[in-house]
Amino acid sequence: MIFLDNAATSYPKPESVYTFMDSFYRRAGVNPGRSGYDLCMEAGELLDGTRKLLARFFNGTDPNRLCFTSNSTDALNLAIFGLLKEGDHAISTTIEHNSVLRPLYHL
């Protein structure tokens, strides 16, 4: 198969992603931070480790300030609605993706 929509979905993913996620969901796919049982603690440690890796990757100073979202649209909505306030100016272009333009037009 030749998949031409890769930027939107990151499909197919590297084999290591499938291997890790399969193992994660089978081993510790519970809700991290919800309780103190072993699996929950393990999931929480994986999450903390991921936060630290990403903070280092992005040169962040505090891993706890990282915010995971379900997709880019969700992240952009959070950033745009969270940062802009009445009277602010946002500079964009008409060829910007809908996930940026729609919240801007809404504001």
Ligand X SMILES: Cc1ncc(COP(=O)(O)O)c(C=O)c1O
Applying CB under 6 A, the residues found at the interface with ligand X are 7-8, 71-73, 97, 99
Q: Which is nearer to ligand X, 34 or 97 (CB)?
A: 97
Q: What's the min distance (Å) between Cβ of 47 and ligand X?
A: 20
Q: Which is nearer to ligand X, 19 or 72 (CB)?
A: 72
Q: Which is nearer to ligand X, 30 or 101 (CB)?
A: 101
Distance CA 41, CA 2 (A): 41
Is the C-alpha dihedral spanning 47, 53, 54, 56 positive or negative?
positive
Burial of 62 (0-12, 13-18, 19+ CB in 10 A): exposed
* List of residues 6+ apart from 47 with CB closer than 8 A: 32, 33
Q: Which is nearer to ligand X, 11 or 37 (CB)?
A: 11
Q: What's the min distance (Å) between Cβ of 90 and ligand X?
A: 15
Q: What's the min distance (Å) between Cβ of 94 and ligand X?
A: 14
Tokens representing 59?
Answer: 């040169």
